Amino acid sequence: MDRYVRVEQRKTEQPSIQENEVRIMAAGKMRNYISYATTLLTDKGHSAVVLKAMGRAINKTVTIAEIVKRRILGLHQDTEIGSVDITDTWEPLEEGLNRLETTRHVSVITITLSTVPLDLTSIGYQAPLEEEFVKPLQESAAPGSRGAGSSIAAGGPSRDGSEGFPGGNGGDRRGSGGRGGGRGGGRGRGGYGGRSSPDM
């Protein structure tokens, strides 16, 4: 395909975005999405927030949903997955070549977080987390804590908006042991920096 260039698609009219809907892009900052979603639920008076994404932004959307659930107690979750077909048009850069069209199958995800019960029979339903796993935003920073390490240890957000919640993405590993996560983070006796096993 080095002899072709993809033609920018004409933007078609899309349904208007609802006030409680958040469309997540792969290039967007996670902490901004988290802040906006929590604001919709706590300050804007919405009983539900809908997170939508496609393609490479899906993993980020799942992480955002998990973080929001750990900041607001009692959120029910319903997840829907699907796919859409996107047709790309390619124009030739050399004479004698024909225009090409290719179709991509792109995955999409919709996650609904609600303070009121959702459809319990839905295959994507998840009940609210237990209270012990929820840490409200105002309590995420422990008194007297220092830097990012203490915030993450307490369950708060890291610089990129992720959190060290139980069983999930641990976020930054910085803490008492520095970047290595402990005293063994630098060049130690094992591995390539010192004594290696006979099989190396």
For residue 116, being part of any structural domain is answered with yes
pLDDT of residue 174: 39
pLDDT of residue 82: 96
pLDDT of residue 12: 61
pTM value? 0.64
Q: Based on the domain organization, do 98 and 142 belong to the same domain?
A: no
pLDDT of residue 76: 98
pLDDT tens, N- to C-terminus, the chain (200 residues): 778 898 877 666 667 889 999 999 999 999 999 999 999 999 999 999 999 999 999 999 999 999 999 999 999 999 999 999 988 899 888 888 888 989 999 999 999 999 999 999 999 999 999 999 999 866 544 444 444 333 333 333 333 443 333 333 343 433 444 444 444 444 444 443 444 444 44
For residue 159, being part of any structural domain is answered with yes
Q: Based on the domain organization, do 44 and 89 belong to the same domain?
A: yes
pLDDT of residue 133: 94
For residue 73, being part of any structural domain is answered with yes
For residue 60, being part of any structural domain is answered with yes
Q: Based on the domain organization, do 38 and 109 belong to the same domain?
A: yes
pLDDT of residue 20: 95
Q: Based on the domain organization, do 70 and 89 belong to the same domain?
A: yes
pLDDT of residue 149: 36
Range of the domain at 39: 1-6+17-131
pLDDT of residue 96: 86
CATH number of the domain at 22, please.
3.30.110.20
pLDDT of residue 126: 97
Q: Based on the domain organization, do 33 and 126 belong to the same domain?
A: yes
Q: Based on the domain organization, do 85 and 155 belong to the same domain?
A: no
For residue 59, being part of any structural domain is answered with yes
Q: What type of residue is 109? A: I
For residue 85, being part of any structural domain is answered with yes
Q: Based on the domain organization, do 60 and 21 belong to the same domain?
A: yes
For residue 198, being part of any structural domain is answered with no
Q: Based on the domain organization, do 126 and 37 belong to the same domain?
A: yes
For residue 190, being part of any structural domain is answered with no
Q: Based on the domain organization, do 54 and 108 belong to the same domain?
A: yes
Number of folded domains in the chain?
A: 2
pLDDT of residue 8: 76
Q: Based on the domain organization, do 31 and 120 belong to the same domain?
A: yes
Q: Based on the domain organization, do 46 and 104 belong to the same domain?
A: yes
Q: Based on the domain organization, do 23 and 103 belong to the same domain?
A: yes
pLDDT of residue 13: 61
pLDDT of residue 170: 40
